[in-house]
Structure 1
Amino acid sequence: MATLNICIRPSSTFQPSHSKFPISLYNLTVVSSFVSTTSSATNLSKFQNSSTRNPSLFIRKLSTLPLINAKSGFVSLARGCSWMQDNSVNYDTATSTGLRPGPLYSVFPSKPAAVSSFEDLYTFICSGPLMEKLGWTPKMVEASIDKWLLYGSYLCRLFQFNEMQLTIPQKTRIYHYYIPVFFWCEDQISKHKSMFKDGEEIPPLVIGLSAPQGCGKTTLVFALDFLFRRTERNSATISIDDFYLTAEGQAKLREENPDNELLEFRGNAGSHDLQLSINTLMALSKLTKEGMKMKLPRYDKSAYGGKGDRDDPLAWPEVEGPLTVILFEGWMLGFKPLPVEVVKAVDPQLEVVNKNLEAYYDAWDKFVDAWIVIKIKDPNCVYQWRLQAELAMRADGKPGMSDVEVKEFVSRYLPAYKAYLPTLYSEGPEGSDPKRLLVVEIDEERNPILAA
C-alpha cells in the first residue's frame, strides 16, 4: 500500500464550495511525496500508485477529497470540528429542506483518530458494525472506495470536520453510520424503481425513520437528505412533529382528558392531526413531474410559551417534483397498538393512548415503503440525552429546562417507549417487509454497535 504525504499551497482566492471542486479554483503545488509500496494489489494501492506516477491524475482524485486549510496549507477542512463546538444541525421550520445548521448540544470524546492513509480508512470502513448486516464485503468496499471517499468528503464539509484529523466519534459517525445507511437507502431506491416499467411514473420512495428523541435522528436525516441532493436525487423531509394538533386542538384534547398527564401536552398518540398527515403524504406521493409543487406543514414548538402551535401556512417550505425519496421521521413512527392489559401494566394512562394509536397505521405507516429503526438498549437514555442538551444550552447562556423540568418532560414519553419499543424491535412496524427494514442499534454515545 502506498502512503503519500502531500503539501499543497492554496490559492489566495480560494472559496469553499459544496460542488465538486473544479481544479481552476485551486493553485495546487505538490511539494513532496514519499511512497512506500507493499505487495498489495488491491484497487487502493493501484489508486495511490497510479496517482504517484501521474500527478495530474492524483490532483483529479484529490479534488474529490477534503477542502484546503488556508492557514496550514495542508489538505484539511477550512474550519475544524463543528460537533466538538456543539454546532451541528437542528430542525428548522423556515428553510426549504426543513433543516439548518444549529446547536446540537451533545457531548463527544475528543481523542484524535487521524486518517493517515487510504489503507487505514479502508480497514476502518470494513470494521464497521453494519457491514455484515448490509451484506458488504471487503471486496465490495474496495470496488466502491471512490464513493466512500467522495461521500465522506461531502459529509466532512457539511459538518465542517477536519478530514485529516477526525475524532473517533466523527470517523465512526461518517464511515460506520451515515454512509452505510445511505448506501442502504440507495439500494432501496434501486429496488423501488425496478418495480415499475419503462415509461411509468415512479412515485417517490418513502423511507420511515423511527428513532427515540435525542438519539440523533434529525442529524441523520439531515446527512441523508444532503447526500441525496449531492447525488442529484430530489428529496423531501417530513416529521411526525409537523402533524401536531393546533394549539386550539391540543387544548380541546386536554379538556377531554383532564386526568391524563400523557395527553396534557403534545407528543403521544392522539395529539396529531391525522387527516393532515394523510393529505400531505398522499400529495407528496404524486410529485412525479417537474413543475409540480406543494407546501409542507411545519410546527412551531416555541409558540405560546413553548406549548406550541402549527406554523403559519405562509411560512411553510415548498417542495418541487419530481421527488425521488421522502424521509419521514418520528419518535413513535411504527408503534402499533398492544393488548390493553399490556399497556395498563406499564401505565394505566396509556389505555387511551393505545386506543388512539389504532388510527395511526392508516395515517402514517401504510405510506412507508422502507424502514430504518434506530434501536436503543434502555429508554432512560432519552432522559440522559435530553439532560445533556439542556445542561449544554444553559452553559452556553441560553434558556434551558431545569433538571426537574427535563424529568417531567421526558416522563410523558417514557411509558410509550417502555410499552411499544420491545414489539417494534422484535416484529418491526406493522406491514413492514423484513427485506426493506434496517435496524441500527446504537450505544449511549449515539454510535452504531454490533447487534447482540
Structure 2
Amino acid sequence: MPEIIDDKSQHCVPFILERLRLYREQYESRHQTPPPFFLGLNGVQGAGKTTLVQTLSQTLSSPPHNLPVVVLSIDDLYLPHDQQTALATSHPDNPLVQHRGVPSTHDVETGIQLFDALQNRKTDIRIPSYDKSQFNGAGDRKPEGEWETVNKAGEKPVEVIIFEGWCVGFRALSEADVEKKWKEAREQAEKNDGSYMGRLGKLKLQDVLFINERLREYDALTDRFGAFMHM
C-alpha cells in the first residue's frame, strides 16, 4: 500500500477554526456558554481519514489553540456481535445486513447517548471501542473496561469532537428517489453486456429501502454538526 501523506490539514485547520469562531459567537452574543463543537468528516476507505483526523487532533490540541479534542469513529459504534447476528437472522434474505458495514449495523442509540454526554460536558465519559478481529473477523464491541475515558476529574472538558467515518453525514432519500435510482441501475444491470460494475442494480428494492429507512435514524447524530468536511 502506498504511503498516505497528509496534504489536507493545512487547508482544514483554518476552515475548522473559522467555523468554531462563528459557532461560539452565536452563543456569546446571547451571553451563553457555547456547547462543545461537533465536526463531521467522511471519505471513502483509503482516502486518508485516519491520518487527517490524527493531524487535526494534534494541531487543535496544541499551542496556540489548546483545544481539548476527542476523535470518534463511526466504526466504534458497530452493533455488538450478538445484536448484529440478530439483525442478520431477522432479515435473512437481505445481503446488506448479513455483516457489519452499512447503515443499520451501527448502534445509533449509543451514539446519541455519547453525543449527549459530550455536549453536556458530563464527567468520566467512556468512548466505545470496537474490535474487528473478534469472531474470525465478524467483530465485536470491546469490553467497557477497555474503553477510553474523557472528561476525567481535573481535566478540561472536551471542546471539539471529530466524528469520522465513510458514511458520516449521509442522509436518507425519499422512497421515490431511491426507487428511481434503483430502476436506472436495474436497467443497466439487465443489459448483460458487462458494462455494469455496480451493486445497486443487483439488489432487491425492498432491501435497499430498508437501509435507506434506517439511515434516517442517523440524523440524530448528523444534526449535531457545526461543520462538515468531505474527503
Matched, 1:319 2:158: no
Pick the structure with greater CA Rg. 1
Q: Hey, what does 1:350 align to over in structure 2? A: 208
Q: Hey, what does 1:259 align to over in structure 2? A: 93
Letter in structure 2 aligned against 1:368: F
Letter in structure 1 aligned against 2:117: A
Compute the displacement of 1:215 (Å).
0.8
Q: Which has the higher contact order (CA 8 A, sep 6+)?
A: 2
Q: What SS is found at the alignment partner of 2:223?
A: helix
Q: Hey, what does 1:189 align to over in structure 2? A: 20
Q: Deviations over 1:209-252 (max 9, x none)?
A: 01111111111111100101113110011111111111000001
Cα distance change on mapping 1:365 and 1:260 into 2, 3 Å = same
Q: Hey, what does 2:227 align to over in structure 1? A: 370
Q: Deviations over 1:164-213 (max 9, x none)?
A: xxxxx85xx34xx2111111111111111111227632211100001111
Q: Hey, what does 2:163 align to over in structure 1? A: 328
List structure 1 segments (4+ residues) > 4 angstroms apart after TM superposition.
Answer: none
Q: How does 1:274-289 map to 2 (within 5 A)?
A: 274-287=108-121
Query: Greater strand share, 1 or 2?
Result: 2
Letter in structure 2 aligned against 1:244: Y
The separation in 2 between residues aligned to 1:305 and 1:342, in whole angstroms, is: 38
Instruction: Figure out how many residues of one structure are paired with residues of the other and give that number.
Output: 201
Q: Hey, what does 1:219 align to over in structure 2? A: 51
Query: Contact 2:19–2:226 (CA<8 Å) still a contact in 1?
Result: no
Q: How does 1:7-406 map to 2 (within 5 A)?
A: 106-108=1-3, 170=5, 173-174=6-7, 177-197=8-28, 200-231=32-63, 232-287=66-121, 292-320=123-151, 321-338=156-173, 339-345=177-183, 346=185, 347=200, 348=204, 349-362=207-220, 364-374=221-231
Which piece of structure 1 moves more, 240-249 or 320-329? 320-329
Q: Deviations over 1:367-400 (max 9, x none)?
A: 11110011xxxxxxxxxxxxxxxxxxxxxxxxxx
The separation in 2 between residues aligned to 1:258 and 1:342, in whole angstroms, is: 25
Query: Contact 1:270–1:353 (CA<8 Å) still a contact in 2?
Result: yes
Structure 1 stretches lacking a partner, 5+ long: 1-105, 109-168, 375-452
Letter in structure 1 aligned against 2:88: R
Compute the displacement of 1:343 (Å).
4.8
Query: Contact 2:39–2:226 (CA<8 Å) still a contact in 1?
Result: yes
Compute the displacement of 1:319 (Å).
1.0
The separation in 1 between residues aligned to 2:139 and 2:180, in whole angstroms, is: 31
Root mean square deviation, CA, Å: 1.8
Q: Deviations over 1:350-379 (max 9, x none)?
A: 2221121122212x21111110011xxxxx
The separation in 2 between residues aligned to 1:301 and 1:343, in whole angstroms, is: 32
Query: Contact 2:69–2:159 (CA<8 Å) still a contact in 1?
Result: yes
The separation in 2 between residues aligned to 1:329 and 1:337, in whole angstroms, is: 18
Query: Contact 1:344–1:351 (CA<8 Å) still a contact in 2?
Result: no
Letter in structure 2 aligned against 1:222: Q
Cα distance change on mapping 1:230 and 1:357 into 2, 3 Å = same
Cα distance change on mapping 1:262 and 1:360 into 2, 3 Å = same
Q: What SS is found at the alignment partner of 1:195?
A: helix
Q: What SS is found at the alignment partner of 1:342?
A: helix
The separation in 1 between residues aligned to 2:112 and 2:180, in whole angstroms, is: 29
Q: Deviations over 1:35-69 (max 9, x none)?
A: xxxxxxxxxxxxxxxxxxxxxxxxxxxxxxxxxxx
TM-score between the two structures when normalised by the length of structure 2:
0.81
Query: Contact 1:203–1:323 (CA<8 Å) still a contact in 2?
Result: no
Letter in structure 1 aligned against 2:164: E
Query: Contact 1:343–1:354 (CA<8 Å) still a contact in 2?
Result: no
The share of aligned pairs that are identical, in percent, is: 29
The separation in 2 between residues aligned to 1:295 and 1:367, in whole angstroms, is: 19
